[in-house]
Structure 1
Amino acid sequence: MKSLKKQRRVQVVVVAALALALATGLIGYAMRDGINFFRAPSQIVAEPPAPGEVFRIGGLVEAGSIQRGQGETIRFVVTDGGASVPVTFSGVLPDLFAENQGMVGTGRYVNGVFQASEILAKHDETYMPSEVVDALKEQGVYKDPNGS
């Protein structure tokens, strides 16, 4: 009788372990496309990402680089002071999008051009995404808007 109970417990433990492993695998598989890593232009130039990889780029929009094409396509250049990456975006830009302002874009790097699917602009005069601030500080071009 005891061996039957012991056998049942072992079976339950094995089934529970397999269910946990399967659940963990399914969660990881589902999240693989939902994780977007942030990269600064200098990092992209130094180590270009894989062709189909979706990631986020951030920096400042270079002065004089915004070109509005036919339709909704907009081209501009984003920089962190160390390197610059050309960006194309088809869609409506946020109202606060402007030259010499911080931005973060989500998309893919194809043939030396970042093709953005989403563009986020700064929130107000003093806001800049922390990833962009960190990248600009690394390059030595960040200026604190508060002067501190």
Structure 2
Amino acid sequence: MVMARSGQVYGLLGRVRMIPTSMAGVFGSDDLIRIALDESRIPGGYLQTFLSNETYGRLLVVRNASGTSIPHLDPVDIQEVPVPRFDARSEEAISDLALRGNELLADADELETRAIARATQLVAREAGLHGLAETLPN
């Protein structure tokens, strides 16, 4: 999971995202906080859901921001955010829904990438850029 550690309070600051396996090893910006999940302590999807909640979690995160022009979060600030806990079954149910949403988001990203590649191939072919058209995947 990563969190945007700088940006405007009503913008990207404090936004979290589970990183799909397709993004493993991809370079990220210094403006991200990596949150290493210990699934034996808290389900990842539950933590993501809480931290993303505009009414509770995100407000608890962004209140720790410092700086005026571009507010900034430090990893230690995130460790201090109190996460409400429920019974394991409820947390797992929330986590499962969040993780399924992440899977669907990753699938949508893959479909978009394939659509862009196909459109680029068709445009290249129509424009007579045959060398480019043949190098692109179908």
TM-score in terms of structure 2 length: 0.28
* Structure whose residues are more often strand by fraction: 1
When normalised by structure 1's length, the TM-score is 0.26
The structure carrying a bigger helix percent of its residues is 2
